[in-house]
Amino acid sequence: MTKIKIKEFEEYCQEQLGLSQHSLRAYQQDLSAFAKFRTKISLTVLPTGQDVIAFQKYLREEQGASPSTIRRRLVTLRSYYKWREEAFPEERSPFDGLRLDLKIPKRLPRPVDRPTLSALFQSAEHIIDIDPVAGPQSLNEISATKVTGLIARLLVVTGLRISELTELRVQDVTGGATRVRVRGKGDRERTVYVANDRLQKDFRHYWQWKFDTQGSQAWLFTNNNGERLTSQAYRKRLRTLSRSLRIEPHLTPHRFRHSAATLLIEEGVDIRLVQRLLGHASIATTEIYTKVSDNSLSTAISAADTLSKVDAL
């Protein structure tokens, strides 16, 4: 049986393409899904184009997968078999000559609206001064809600991906906790800036405590066991916080990233600067936020309804 070489493909993507751990996990999930499908249909040879079509139908009709998930699974599969074709010239990719409609309906980003952000930040108290003399145990005295709130504020101000934030070490923060060096997708490095005086003060206190007690190599954000805070753990915290504040749909780190971009564009920040902040390789990816801003403009104009006020004179 020609097995799916998931581990070998992961090593190639990590070493040759410099993909993030988040992308690697997604690839693993996609290829594992196809491996299970192969077992289900007892496929013991190289798949054909018809097998790929059957996989697409299986995902849609039996698994109830969303169009975006189906597209991602197939794009991953096509990349995998392209790699195999180069590694094993005698093998032919099942995607050769195959036409698949991988388009999905375009949806505008859904940022968190300003009133909800305000309610969130009011519920999450600011970080208090930390006494370095108290030792590592003092970190446990900072409630999870305070740390969750600090991270949420940072995500909204910097536009960081949650995977980028949770991979930060103390040494990545410079300039008195006003600048953060980030390594994003494709191993591209960029710098983001922490604006807002109150946020800078909170972040500086937190960062200074980490530096003084755990050193520059320590993870910037950790869980109660002192281990690196994972993206999944922070998403779980946000879901809990959303339920407590009765926020629907629930808050997610990526919605904070959408908020960062939308708020900046609504405040008139040049789109190319927003592109740099978010780490988008193409400005076309950033331009979608101008459409969100246009929606805000339309809503504001409708609410103002200037013509009705003139007609009333």
Return the number of other C-beta atoms located less than 10 Å from residue 7's C-beta: 10
Q: State the average pLDDT over residues 12-20.
A: 82
Query: Is the pLDDT score of 154 beyond 90?
Result: yes
Q: Cβ atoms within 10 A of the Cβ of 219, count?
A: 17
pLDDT over threshold 80, residue 46 = yes
Q: Which CATH number does 114-302 carry?
A: 1.10.443.10
- Rounded distance, CA 313 to CA 309, Å? 7
DSSP letter for 148, please: H
Q: How far apart are CA 17 and CA 62, in angstroms?
A: 33
pLDDT of 178 reads 92
Strand partners, 179: 174, 193
Mean pLDDT in residue range 266-285: 87
Q: What pLDDT, on a 0 to 100 scale, did the predictor assign at position 142?
A: 58
* Comparison of pLDDT for 99 and 211, the residue scoring more: 211
Architecture of domain 6-87: Orthogonal Bundle (1.10)
3 state SS of 222 = strand
Q: Quote the pLDDT of residue 106.
A: 64
Cα–Cα distances in angstroms (integers) from residue 261 to residues 76, 96, 269, 281, 299, in the given order: 28, 39, 9, 15, 18
Q: Quick count: other Cβ atoms within 10 Å of Cβ 302?
A: 8
Q: Write down the pLDDT at residue 267.
A: 86
Strand (E) or helix (H) holding 83? helix 67-87
- Indicate whether 146 pLDDT > 60: yes
Same CATH topology for 6-87 and 114-302?
no
Give start and end residues of each alpha helix (H) in 3-66. 6-15, 21-40, 49-57
Q: What is the pLDDT of residues 251-263, one digit of tens each?
A: 999 999 999 999 9
More confident of the two residues 268 and 20: 268
Q: What is the mean pLDDT of the chain?
A: 84
Per-domain residue ranges of the chain: 6-87, 114-302
Task: Give 294 or 86, the one with higher predicted confidence.
Answer: 86
What angle (nearest 5°) sits at the alpha carbon of residue 132, between those of residues 131 and 137? 85
SS3 183: strand
Secondary structure of residue 265 in the 3-state scheme: helix
- CA 211, CA 220: separation in Å to the nearest integer? 9
> Which of the pair, 291 or 27, is modelled with greater confidence?
27
Compute the Cα dihedral for 293, 298, 302, 304 and give only its sign. positive
**Interval 279-313: pLDDT, tens:** 888 888 888 888 777 766 666 666 766 566 566 65
- pLDDT tens digits for 192-251? 999 888 899 999 999 998 999 899 999 999 988 889 999 999 999 999 989 988 998 889
- Residues facing residue 169 across a β-bridge: 219
pLDDT of residue 17: 81
Report the range out of 2-6, 157-161, 301-305 with the highest average pLDDT.
157-161
Q: Round the CA-based radius of gyration of the chain to a whole number and report it.
A: 23
Structure tokens at 128: 């208090």
Residue type at position 78: R
**In 3D, which of 184, 165, 274 has the Cα closest to residue 229?**
165
Predicted local distance difference test score (pLDDT) of residue 211: 92
At 137 the pLDDT is: 41
Residue 98: pLDDT band (50, 70, 90) is confident
